[in-house]
Structure 1
Amino acid sequence: MPELEVPGACLHYEIHGKGPLFLCISGGTGSLEIYSQLAQHLKQHFTVATYDRRGFSRSVLVGSQDYEHRLETDADDVALLIKHLSPDKPAFVLGNSSGAVVALEALIRHSDVVDKVLVQEPPLISVLPDFHAVQGKVQQVHQIYRKNGVAPAMEQFASMTKSGAETAALLAAFDPKVGGPYTSGNVMYWLEREFLPYPTHDIDMEVLKKHKGKLMLLNCEGTHREALHYRANVVLAERLDLELDVMPGGHVGFAYMPEQWARRLVEIVIGS
């Protein structure tokens, strides 16, 4: 199994195809499997790298962790992977959901190693005008998790995020009886270490503006327009004076419509 040792973790990754590096960052599940089908359709054009983010699935933690700066560490992992897999050329990066927040932070901290960063529906509530109201709803979900467990928390989360059928199916897979062997640990780690701090992260807009030529914002045609992750990209587009690219399907459309997604990604990445 390909692995990369980084400070505090050992990252598991997989490679498909040949060409410029195209790195995919997973969202709340943290696990690379969600990109498996998309990678098969992109590998004719790119070297597609997928990986388990640190602490998820096969990417084990090693020693002490700096959880106060976990997002920054996640972004540093992205840069280390790119330097390992493509030492001479910058990479294309795609991040979905929480992984989109990681992608933004990677652009801020390591703009030199990226060519284009595609940010798909980040749950970045810190940029929303009604931040405090939405934050209260997010905290309520977390309180339900602490008091009643994962299943009722995910039910409330699906309602809060106005999840479509695709995302609802993904959330249902968080049930250990439905998901794979890493499901239980992954969802617990996400809820404990990521669910609250990533959406409320104070993104450095001034640095983003400096690098906005490398940034592409993706929203999906099937995502509810009032969903917090859809709205966050709308705000980013307005504040950064960028266009929003529309992708097929819903919040995890790349897992359900991989061929259509791959075709569109090739258009907007190579065409840019």
Structure 2
Amino acid sequence: MTTTHTLDVAGARLHYEVRGAGPLLLVMGSPMDAEAFGPLADALASDHTVVTHDPRGISGSPLDDPGQDSTPELRADDVAALLDALGADSADVFGSSGGAVTGLALVARHPGRVRTLVAHEPPLLELLPDAAEQRAAADDIVETFHREGVGAAWMKFMANAGFDVGGEDAAPEPPSGEPSEPSEPSEQELANSARFFGHELRGTIRHVPDIAALTAPQTRVVVGIGTASAGLITARTSRALAERLATAPVEFPGDHGGFIELPKEFAERLREVLRP
């Protein structure tokens, strides 16, 4: 059974969902919303209390100021407030893509609140040797969004990320990389994409992780990379983070969106990683 809730936080109202019973596990993305993690959460709910949420400004989590930029720090504070609302001193956290960056900021800003963080393919472009070129590419993507719209921006984004976008007429995939039949995006999908390009992309990819905080003894940080993510920029950023943490990355099924493509297999791998 899934229960839905809302929580007032600074400048926003969060939509979140709770399933299952057992140790508390927060599962998050950015800009991916709770719905994207539904199959994974269902697969984990037999032995975990799984909490998913819509990040601020996305889907069911409206902002007081729609023009406010989303940063990993703001999103981390939201997750800490969510833990407070759940009456939890700490929890395990799985974050994918921008949600992994949220998790990294959470560990740094709220010490002791995270037991184990599994950071799955965080797009930490500042860790790459070509960071300046990546910043310029992101600026071009954002400018393309403002000039030509969501579709053109997604094409550039996915190509830069390393996905095969096909020819000029190919439909771009959403940020999680999940396979989908070409279709007209919904109003909500368009709004989420506009939010991502206009107010979220730059803040996420330019986050610089606090390595000292991430290597403190109270939290275990695991860096995850998809077995099919070779060639993706997030595989490069994940390896760069793992190197700085002096740890080996852990493989997960699928690619950047493996939790959607293979939720049961992904859930089992996550269970293995979370075991003490």
TM-score between the two structures when normalised by the length of structure 1: 0.90
- In structure 2, what is the equivalent of residue 162 of structure 1? 162
- In structure 2, what is the equivalent of residue 103 of structure 1? 103
Contact (CA 8 Å) 2:67, 2:199: kept in 1 or not? no
- In structure 1, what is the equivalent of residue 265 of structure 2? 260
Equivalent residue in structure 2 for 1:190, among 189, 193, 196: 196
Q: Which runs of 5+ in 2 are unaligned?
A: 166-170
Superposition deviation, residue 134 in structure 1: 1.8
- In structure 2, what is the equivalent of residue 33 of structure 1? 35
Structure (1/2) with the larger helix percentage = 1
- In structure 2, what is the equivalent of residue 19 of structure 1? 22
Moved more, 206-215 or 74-83: 206-215
Q: Flag as ranges the 4+ runs of structure 1 deviating above 4 A.
A: 63-66, 171-177
Q: Deviations over 1:143-176 (max 9, x none)?
A: 21122111111111111111268x9543599999
- In structure 2, what is the equivalent of residue 134 of structure 1? 134
Superposition deviation, residue 28 in structure 1: 2.5
- Establish whether residue 235 from structure 1 lines up as the match of residue 240 from structure 2: yes
Distance in 2 (alpha carbons) for counterparts of 1:220 and 1:246: 6
Q: Deviations over 1:104-143 (max 9, x none)?
A: 0001111221111110101110111111122222222122
Show the 5 A alignment for 1:199-214: 199-211=205-217, 213-214=219-220
Identity over the aligned pairs, expressed in percent?
29
Q: Which runs of 5+ in 1 are unaligned?
A: none
Superposition deviation, residue 66 in structure 1: 6.1
Does the residue aligned with 1:170 lie in a helix, a strand or coil? coil
Distance in 2 (alpha carbons) for counterparts of 1:211 and 1:159: 38
Query: Which AA in structure 2 matches 1:156?
Result: K
CA separation of 1:65 and 1:77: change in aligned 2, threshold 3 A: farther
Query: Which AA in structure 1 matches 2:236?
Result: R
Query: Which AA in structure 1 matches 2:54?
Result: D
Distance in 1 (alpha carbons) for counterparts of 2:163 and 2:237: 15
Contact (CA 8 Å) 2:12, 2:61: kept in 1 or not? yes
Q: Deviations over 1:19-69 (max 9, x none)?
A: 11111112223x1111000011100110000100111111111359864x7
Q: How many residues are matched?
A: 266
Show the 5 A alignment for 1:107-122: 107-122=107-122
Distance in 1 (alpha carbons) for counterparts of 2:162 and 2:252: 18
Query: Which AA in structure 2 matches 1:230?
Result: A
Contact (CA 8 Å) 1:164, 1:224: kept in 2 or not? no
Moved more, 41-50 or 143-152: 143-152
CA separation of 1:212 and 1:149: change in aligned 2, threshold 3 A: farther
Distance in 2 (alpha carbons) for counterparts of 1:66 and 1:142: 16
Distance in 1 (alpha carbons) for counterparts of 2:92 and 2:172: 29
TM-score between the two structures when normalised by the length of structure 2: 0.88
Query: Which AA in structure 2 matches 1:57?
Result: S
- Establish whether residue 80 from structure 1 lines up as the match of residue 66 from structure 2: no
CA separation of 1:197 and 1:175: change in aligned 2, threshold 3 A: farther
Superposition deviation, residue 213 in structure 1: 4.7
Equivalent residue in structure 2 for 1:7, among 1, 5, 10: 10
CA separation of 1:64 and 1:181: change in aligned 2, threshold 3 A: closer
Q: CA RMSD in A?
A: 2.5
Contact (CA 8 Å) 1:212, 1:240: kept in 2 or not? no
Distance in 2 (alpha carbons) for counterparts of 1:74 and 1:249: 26
Q: Deviations over 1:44-99 (max 9, x none)?
A: 110000100111111111359864x7321110011111122142x41111111111
- In structure 2, what is the equivalent of residue 62 of structure 1? 64
Superposition deviation, residue 181 in structure 1: 4.1
Distance in 2 (alpha carbons) for counterparts of 1:196 and 1:175: 28
- In structure 1, what is the equivalent of residue 184 of structure 2? 178
CA separation of 1:86 and 1:51: change in aligned 2, threshold 3 A: same
